[in-house]
Amino acid sequence: MNRCDIPAILAGYPAGLVEPVLHLLAEGRLGDALQRRYPLRHAVRSDRALYDYVHAIKNECLRNTPPLSKVVYDNSLKLLRQALGTHTRVSRVQGGRLKAKNEIRIATVFREAPEAFLRMIVVHELAHLREREHDKEFYQLCRYMEPAYHQLEFDLRVWLLWRDAAAM
Ligand SMILES: [Zn+2]
């Protein structure tokens, strides 16, 4: 397979990983394969539930990080680009002191995604509380919080590819 045949969302992954996926997609069997592997939906439907879900992981894995002021689903985050979630640190002067507010926004598509993918994106955004860049330390922290992090990130991309193809 030619490098340029790899869909943008799977760019950077070896052809040996991507080819079987494209094969299943072409045969119309990718949806079933994903369903078998990730049968679990989740009940994190509202922003309130998402807030609790994110805090549970934060309390379990990242106790000594700054508090989160806001956690919401955001349907303006554009998929198939980079941003599946965002973490922002907003600094405001409050009562003469500079206060940093941490916000996490998760693309609304994760409301319908298998639970493992929601967890993966939450782990990613939480890791940014400690590590700003996508460097070695960042991914180490992600793997500490979710040992299958890299597999889940790949499978999430496959799921998004399948979802996109199914919508056409
Ligand atoms: Zn990031």
Ligand 1 centroid – CA 29 distance (Å): 31
Range of the domain at 52: 41-167
Q: Are 158 and 22 in contact (CB under 8 A)?
A: no
Task: Indicate which CATH number applies to the domain containing 60.
Answer: 3.30.2010.10
> Is 14 a member of any domain?
no
Q: What are the tens digits of pLDDT across the range 112-122?
A: 999 999 999 99
Q: Does residue 122 sit within a domain?
A: yes
For the chain, how many structural domains are there in total? 1
How many A from CA of 11 to the centre of ligand 1? 17
Whether 140 maps to a domain, the answer reads yes
- Predicted TM-score (pTM) of this structure: 0.86
**Dist. CA 35 → ligand 1 center (Å):** 26
pLDDT surpassing 60 at residue 82 = no
Supply 14's token pair: 């070896």
> Does 30 map to a domain?
no
Rounded distance between C-alpha atoms, residue 91 and residue 12, angstroms: 35
